Structure formats: structure tokens, C-alpha cells
Amino acid sequence: MGRSLHFPFQLGDLGTPRSAGHAQVLRQQLEQLLFTLPGERVNRPRFGCGVQRLVFGPATPESAGLAEYVIKVNVNQFMGEVIRLDAVKVTAEDATLFVDLLYTVIETGEERAETFRRPLEGPP
């Protein structure tokens, strides 16, 4: 596994594009998928979970379950060839959204756990 361009695109100290290792690239791709709103990307209108919009309203097991379902479907659709999603947990605390993912990298069999945090915005 090699290196890929860092997302978002950045220049390094010598003016060359920054790169990222495979683990960091997977994390960046997952973060893009989780927090991109469907319709936000012109050429990929179905791309994105938009989980930050799914957590408004009463904090119920149903709303958390819906967010987790949307994440599972999207990760399987857009990253299913690269990772196998093993577990998802979505919580909102103190105006912050937490998404915990447990997944396996298909190429290596390595299991990874990632936590994504995002401040909650006001209702749409």
C-alpha cells in the first residue's frame, strides 16, 4: 500500500503536494462520506450520509438507529470494496456528534476503530 494525496489538498514545506499513508487516506475517505450531504457533490448526487442532519429532534433509539442504518448502507455502497464495516455507533453529546466505526481493511484483514467528531449545526 502506497501513499495518496492528502485530503483536503495541501502543499508541504517544499511546495510539493502533501501525501498521506493508507490508514490516513481511509479515515479521510470515511469522514468525507459521513459528513457530505447527499446532493452536495455535483457529479455524485447520491454520495454522502449527511449524518449531521439526521440527529435533530428527540434523542431516541429510532433516530440513532436511522443514522446508523444510513451509514451502513453508504459505506457498503461507496467503500465496500475497500473495507468491511463491522459496527457503527452514533451519539450526540454537548452539541457534538460522535460517530464510532469499527471496520476491517479487506486487503490486509486489519481491524480498525475510528471516532469522528463534528459540532452539530442548527436544524436545516
CATH number at residue 70: 3.10.450.40
76 within some domain: yes
Question: What Rg do the C-alpha atoms of the chain give, in angstroms?
Answer: 15
pLDDT of residue 20: 61
pLDDT of residue 65: 83
124 within some domain: no
pLDDT of residue 39: 84
The C-alpha cell that represents 106 in the structure block: 479487506
Bigger pLDDT: 9 vs 33: 33
Residue 120 has pLDDT above 80, yes or no: no
Which residue in the block uniquely carries the three cell numbers 452514533?
90
The number of domains in the chain is 1
What's the pLDDT tens digit per position in 50-104? 877 765 555 566 777 888 999 999 999 999 999 999 999 988 777 788 899 999 9
Residue 19 has pLDDT above 80, yes or no: no
Give the residue numbers spanning the domain of 105: 4-119
23 within some domain: yes
Tell me the C-alpha distance between 108 and 119, whole Å: 33
